[in-house]
Chain A
Amino acid sequence: MTFAVVVFPGSNCDHDAYHAVKHVLGHEARFVWHKETSLDGVDVVILPGGFSHGDYLRTGAIARFSPVMKSVAAFAAAGGPVLGICNGFQILLECGLLPGAMLRNRDVTFHCEFLTVRVERTDTPFTSGARVGQVLRIPIAHGEGNYFAPPETLAELEAGGRVVFRYADAEGRITESANPNGSLNNIAGICSERRNVVGLMPHPERACEIAVGSSDGLVLLESVVHTLASRGSMQAVAR
């Protein structure tokens, strides 16, 4: 399976994602420069974390206009799995592949720490191998992860079961003190209506090996491999 890791000027978690896919997961990883437009032969797209275009204007606001994003939108429209991590999530919000927007963290502080999130949904390609209620210990590293959406959008997300991850304490309780940035409803990650586009602020790719403190993030990558493999075998049966 081939993962594309999109590289914007200022991406800084592209190598983390590449390493996790190639050396931990054992699948093919390919860097795709933001000016490229071809995603031929790609099975999964990862928009990695970082500070694309220096976070100028707003986080993700300039990256949204990179040539590769038209191809990413087409890939997503065709049902391809897209994972936006941190700045990648912010880019997905800016380009409208996911709803809402990011505000500064409510304490105006950059948070770089391990925390825990609860898996809310397993009907996305990136959580199919997890359990509902499973608590993942993965790090965050952001200054603008305070998820905001207008009330009607938020209601739609909740009603549609599109909140995929919430900040929770170690026991999985959704509490105010477990919320690092002020995100509405403790939202740490959401998915698109068709569920194939997932964005989250925490960094699963930085938590794929015990050596770095946790391997809880690996389930996202394993899930998408499993989802695509079973899709492939279903197509084979159909043929």
Chain B
Amino acid sequence: MKARVFVTLKPSVFDPQGSTIAEALHSLGYASITDVRQGKYFELDLGVATAADAERLAAEVAGKVLANPIIESFRIELPDAAAEPSLSGAQR
């Protein structure tokens, strides 16, 4: 079972890289874009069979390693469990 993990800075945390990208976009003429937040994306091949196990394992490693809970939050998607929408896209 695979999982996609999206790690983003918490809304309260300043994102210098996102701001720089937004400025670059403005200088290119994309005046309507008001904000950019940069994050990280991970694809995990979890080696477990059920969506519940995948969700639990992905959340565990995301909380422990992939994200720093002081500044970041994460979101997990389970593409293989698309038939079980209740388990995919859980926000933390």
On A, residues with C-beta under 8 Å from B are: 57-58, 61, 65, 94, 99-101, 103-108, 146, 148-150, 182
Q: Is the CB of A150 within 8 A of B70?
A: yes
A103 vs B37: C-alpha distance when bound (angstroms): 13
A65 vs B66: C-alpha distance when bound (angstroms): 13
Chief secondary structure at chain A's binding surface:
loop
A101 with B14, Cβ < 8 A, contacts A57-B65, A61-B65, A108-B20 known? no
B16 touches A (CB below 8 Å): yes
Hey, what's the 0/1 contact readout for B67-81 against A, CB within 8 Å counting as 1?
A: 010110000000000
Residues of B within 8 A of A104 (CB): 16-17
B28 touches A (CB below 8 Å): no
Q: Is the CB of A103 within 8 A of B68?
A: no
Residues of B within 8 A of A103 (CB): 9, 13-16, 71
Q: Is the CB of B16 within 8 A of A101?
A: no
Hey, what's the 0/1 contact readout for B40-82 against A, CB within 8 Å counting as 1?
A: 0000000000000000000000000110101100000000000
Q: Is the CB of B16 within 8 A of A105?
A: yes
Q: Is the CB of A182 within 8 A of B13?
A: no
> Smallest CB–CB gap between B15 and chain A, Å?
8
A148 with B70, Cβ < 8 A, contacts A107-B16, A108-B17, A182-B16 known? yes
Residues of B within 8 A of A150 (CB): 70
A32 vs B30: C-alpha distance when bound (angstroms): 52
A203 vs B61: C-alpha distance when bound (angstroms): 33
Q: Is the CB of B16 within 8 A of A106?
A: yes
> Smallest CB–CB gap between B22 and chain A, Å?
12
A99 vs B16: C-alpha distance when bound (angstroms): 21
A57 with B13, Cβ < 8 A, contacts A101-B71, A108-B20 known? no
> Smallest CB–CB gap between B28 and chain A, Å?
17
Residues of A within 8 A of B70 (CB): 99-101, 148-150
> Smallest CB–CB gap between A102 and chain B, Å?
9
Residues of A within 8 A of B71 (CB): 101, 103, 148
Residues of A within 8 A of B17 (CB): 104, 108
> Smallest CB–CB gap between B71 and chain A, Å?
5
Residues of B within 8 A of A146 (CB): 16
A66 vs B51: C-alpha distance when bound (angstroms): 31
> Smallest CB–CB gap between B77 and chain A, Å?
20
> Smallest CB–CB gap between A11 and chain B, Å?
21
Chain B minimum-CB-distance residue to A64: B65
